[in-house]
């Protein structure tokens, strides 16, 4: 697809360059021809002033031979044609190269979008197929009693909720990565945000007897509180998912210069170095993550997007079997 577009773009570059070149060649030719004609006329006048009798003077100098004018014009014409041909070849080569460079980011973007669509369809297809199979099998079961049907509906509802969460996340990610329109920026109270996240996720942590601690000072920053909450929910939820029982998770927050540093540390399974480079990619899940249960590998991609929308950075340090710390730096204003 892009070879065709590249050739077309090269064609357009060539058309523009050659139109200008040919226009200038004609202009140069007419200007030079005019100059030659005028110079020749001046020479004729001078020759007549010193007694020459043009046009039939048998002794006139070769310089005044009209043939010389045509030869000069022919030479100019030929040289201009050669120069135009040279410009054509050079522009075609440079144009093809430039067209490639122009189209490259578009081609990268399109293949990324295609990958996103393929991955998303794949992720959606698996739970939908499971849901359908479960419904079909149970519908065929003539002995299905009310209690079993209720359990089935409950299971299905859980699947549907997961699908809904997945589609919500997909929609959020599908919006351009630099799309800041969706941000609702105001004065955000970090302590309040972290406490709401801790309150929300404490029941989940309790199931694994994990201690969830918040060590955040009084900090207000210019940010979207809802997005900040979502970001911290993703990180703390992951910390719970990928930690074993009776461990500790700590959320810290402090001011440094003009920035806020937020940390989420756990004592969980850790991340391999080879995985660390990929964990912020959409749909990436480390093999070890299956121990943490279900997930679509979208959380950290969303986290990175939210941090990026706020003009901040997110980094991770991890030791296998020791734990992981995510550090976020956000500008105060």
Over the range 184-221, which residues count as b (16 or more CB within 10 Å of their CB) and which as e? eeeebbbeebbebbbeebeeebeeeebebebebeebeb
One residue of 21, 25, 267, 289 binding ligand ADP per CB under 6 A: 289
One residue of 119, 242, 253, 309 binding ligand ADP per CB under 6 A: 242
One residue of 279, 306, 307, 330 binding ligand ADP per CB under 6 A: 279
- The one segment of 133-141, 181-189, 213-221, 285-293 that binds ligand ADP by CB under 6 A: 285-293
Smallest separation (angstroms) from ligand ADP to the CB of 322? 10
Q: Is there binding between residue 120 and ligand ADP (CB under 6 A)?
A: no
List of residues 6+ apart from 95 with CB closer than 8 A: 9, 10, 13, 14, 17
Q: Is there binding between residue 308 and ligand ADP (CB under 6 A)?
A: no
Q: Is there binding between residue 232 and ligand ADP (CB under 6 A)?
A: no
Our CB check for ligand ADP shows the closer of 37 and 112 to be 112
- Burial of residue 269 (CB within 10 Å: 0-12, 13-18, 19+) is buried
Among candidates 262, 265, 263, which has minimal Cα distance to 243?
Answer: 265
Q: Is there binding between residue 231 and ligand ADP (CB under 6 A)?
A: no
Among candidates 178, 4, 1, 10, which has minimal Cα distance to 101?
Answer: 10
Are the C-beta atoms of residues 14 and 88 closer than 8 Å to each other? yes
Enter the DSSP assignment of 281. S
Our CB check for ligand ADP shows the closer of 56 and 287 to be 287
Q: Up-side HSE of residue 100: CA atoms within 13 Å toward CB?
A: 5
Q: Is there binding between residue 197 and ligand ADP (CB under 6 A)?
A: no
One residue of 14, 120, 300, 307 binding ligand ADP per CB under 6 A: 300
Q: Is there binding between residue 216 and ligand ADP (CB under 6 A)?
A: no
- Which residues in the 249-278 window bind ligand ADP by CB under 6 A? 266, 268-271
Smallest separation (angstroms) from ligand ADP to the CB of 117? 18
Q: Is there binding between residue 285 and ligand ADP (CB under 6 A)?
A: yes
SS3 letters across 19-70? HHHHHHHHHHHHHHHHHHHHHHHHHHHHHHHCCCCCCCCCCCCHHHCHHHHH
Our CB check for ligand ADP shows the closer of 25 and 265 to be 265
| Partners of 250 in beta bridges | 213, 265
Residues engaged in binding ligand ADP (CB under 6 A): 238-239, 242, 266, 268-271, 279, 284-286, 289, 295-301, 324
């Amino acid at each position: 697809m892009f070879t065709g577009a590249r050739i077309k773009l090269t064609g357009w570059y060539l058309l523009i360059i050659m139109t200008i070149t040919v226009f200038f060649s004609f202009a140069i030719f007419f200007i030079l021809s005019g100059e030659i004609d005028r110079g020749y006329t001046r020479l004729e006048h001078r020759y007549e002033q010193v007694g020459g009798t043009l046009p039939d003077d048998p002794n006139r100098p070769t310089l005044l031979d009209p043939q010389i004018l045509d030869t000069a014009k022919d030479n100019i014409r030929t040289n201009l044609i050669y120069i135009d041909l040279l410009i054509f070849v050079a522009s075609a080569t440079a144009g093809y190269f430039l067209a490639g460079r122009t189209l490259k980011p578009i081609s990268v973007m399109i293949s990324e979008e295609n990958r996103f669509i393929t991955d998303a369809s794949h992720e959606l297809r698996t739970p939908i197929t499971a849901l359908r199979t479960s419904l079909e099998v149970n519908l065929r079961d003539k002995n299905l009693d009310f209690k079993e049907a209720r359990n089935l509906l409950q299971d299905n509802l859980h699947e549907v909720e997961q699908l809904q969460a997945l589609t919500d996340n997909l929609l959020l990610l599908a919006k351009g990565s630099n799309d800041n329109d969706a941000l609702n920026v105001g004065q955000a109270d970090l302590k309040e945000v972290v406490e709401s996240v801790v309150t929300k996720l404490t029941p989940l942590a309790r199931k694994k007897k994990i201690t969830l601690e918040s060590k955040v000072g009084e900090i207000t920053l210019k940010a979207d509180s809802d997005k900040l909450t979502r970001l911290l929910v993703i990180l703390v939820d992951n910390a719970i998912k990928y930690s074993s029982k009776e461990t500790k998770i700590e959320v810290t927050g402090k001011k440094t210069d003009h920035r806020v540093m937020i940390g989420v540390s756990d004592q969980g399974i850790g991340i391999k170095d080879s995985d660390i480079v990929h964990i912020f990619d959409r749909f990436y899940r480390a093999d070890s993550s299956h121990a943490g249960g279900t997930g679509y590998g979208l959380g950290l991609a969303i986290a990175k997007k939210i941090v990026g929308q706020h003009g901040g950075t997110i980094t991770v340090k991890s030791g296998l079997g020791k734990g992981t710390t995510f550090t976020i730096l956000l500008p105060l204003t």
